[in-house]
Amino acid sequence: MTTEPPKETAKESKQEQAKQKKPEKSIEQPKETAKEQTTGEENKTEPIQETANQNFASDQQRKVAELMISGSDFLPLAEAYYHLPKGQKTSTWDNFIFNKEVTWTGTIADLETISDSIVVYGKEEGYNGEDWLTISTEKLHEQFLLSTRA
Q: Where are the domains of the chain?
A: 45-97, 107-147
Q: What are 82-112's pLDDT values in tens digits?
A: 999 989 999 999 999 999 999 999 998 888 8
pTM for the complete prediction? 0.59
Q: What are 49-74's pLDDT values in tens digits?
A: 455 557 899 999 999 999 999 999 99
DSSP assignment letter at 122: -
| Cα 62 from chain centre | 13
Q: What are 106-134's pLDDT values in tens digits?
A: 998 888 888 889 989 898 888 888 888 88
Asked if the model's pLDDT at residue 47 lies above 50, the reply is no
Listed residue (68, 91, 70, 98) closest to 80, CA to CA: 68
Residue 38 confidence (pLDDT): 37
In whole angstroms, give the CA distance from residue 81 to residue 141: 10
In whole angstroms, give the CA distance from residue 47 to residue 62: 10
In whole angstroms, give the CA distance from residue 57 to residue 74: 22
In whole angstroms, give the CA distance from residue 31 to residue 102: 24
